[in-house]
Amino acid sequence: MAVSGENGIDVSHYQGVVNWSKVAADGTTFAMIKASEGENYTDPMFAANWAGCKNNGISCGAYHYFLPTDCFLKQSDLLIKQLQAVSFDHETDLPPAIDCEDMERASASVYVYALKELLETLQRQIKCTPMIYVSPAFWQGLGNPDFTEYPLWIANYTSASEPEIPAPWKGYAIWQFSEGGQVDGITGDVDLDRNNPSVDAQSVQEPKLNWF
């Protein structure tokens, strides 16, 4: 499959201890790292993975696994604390992402409301626009709400040269195109990503932040 853009991965504690020098040598240029989940959970490998990226010249960003029935204010606070702990810099690091894949039996309207409040709260605090990670089917299940002010990190595993983009987005910032990648320095499978080289950074986020 021909996929343009730079090579990226996303990781959590499920990947265990990562040898980031080998990951960098294998051609990975950016990584999205799990920081937190819900109101209380922090990924035990977040700080180590962040430092590993920094020490090996890999651009990195954090992601938070969103739970719609947990308090969005507490979720925002938890992610911000994680970002502060690794000295997140909104001008040089990749913007954080909100991982949308668990309904927790909430209605679509409840989910959309809580997600909107979380994103707006987070954006005010971190001084850059967070991304949304989602699959086309999940977003369609929410009724395709308009969150186009937030860049899209699309999860779509396909043999096509471009991912399926859920309406009303017209494009994507990052494409997670495989969940079964093999990268030197990581034991087992890892998600593979590519950035979209055609994205105009200033059109989707604060002008001072340059992705990639």
Extended beta strands in the chain, E state: 7-11, 30-37, 41-42, 59-65, 97-99, 131-134, 152-155, 174-181, 190-195
Residue type, 72: F
Instruction: Pick the closest to residue 72 from 107, 34, 110 (CA basis).
Output: 110
Given the structure tokens 């993975």, which residue do they identify?
Answer: 49
Q: Catalytic annotation on 162?
A: no
- Exactly one of 89, 91, 101, 104 is catalytic; name it: 101
Q: What is the four-CA torsion angle of 36, 198, 87, 8, rounded to 10 degrees? A: 60
Q: How far, CA to CA in Å, does 156 sit from each of 14, 16, 137, 151, 178? A: 21, 24, 9, 15, 8
Is 39 among the catalytic positions? no
Catalytic residues: 10, 101
